[in-house]
Structure 1
Amino acid sequence: MQVIGIKELQTNPGKLTKAFQDNDYLLITKHGQPLGLALPFAEGIMEQGLLPWFAIKGFQSGDLSLGQLSKALGKNQHETIKLLELLGVPVADYDFAEDLAAIEKMLAA
């Protein structure tokens, strides 16, 4: 999620287009206070509904934890993981090469 002030958005509307092209959403503020959300259109909005879709996008971007997502969806974590699997959303995001390097470093010590 990106945060942008309303004045900046007025002077540089291309930032909104860029965020949509990157499939990202914007929190629009005025004097540092939340004013609104701008989000790209996606089929998931129509299929899942706005709140669940928005919560899932928040999870994908790292803004929500699995527990927070589960609470927002009104599901337990097991049900949430199954839903994410059906939607093709990875539950864990890690860098395999980074993990191997850390293991090799531990073994070398």
Structure 2
Amino acid sequence: MDTFTVRDLREHTGSLIHDAEKGKLSLITKHGRPVFLAVPFTQDLLDLGLRLAIAIKLYKEETLTLEKSAKLSGVGTEVFIEKLSQLGIPTVHYSADDIAKEIKDFD
């Protein structure tokens, strides 16, 4: 595993990519503290759950819809909803106005 500083990234992006292509991890630091870990994509990594983790993150950030996130996760919509529920992540997003309207229509 190689270690790069944030400053090194500007000058050694090619080395980081080259290491990733060889399957090597790279640790990126800022002022001597780890900031992130560059992990090369492999089929094993995807099979072991990274796909689900990325799908959940993109759903939480509202980058992808529930359906698209479930498709990306590879586990199907029903299982994806169960995973979100286990993590306490809401699967329905209502505005205050929508809730008030629903309550009014219910009465």
Give the structure-2-normalised TM-score.
0.44
Which structure has the greater CA radius of gyration? Answer: 2
Give the structure-1-normalised TM-score.
0.43
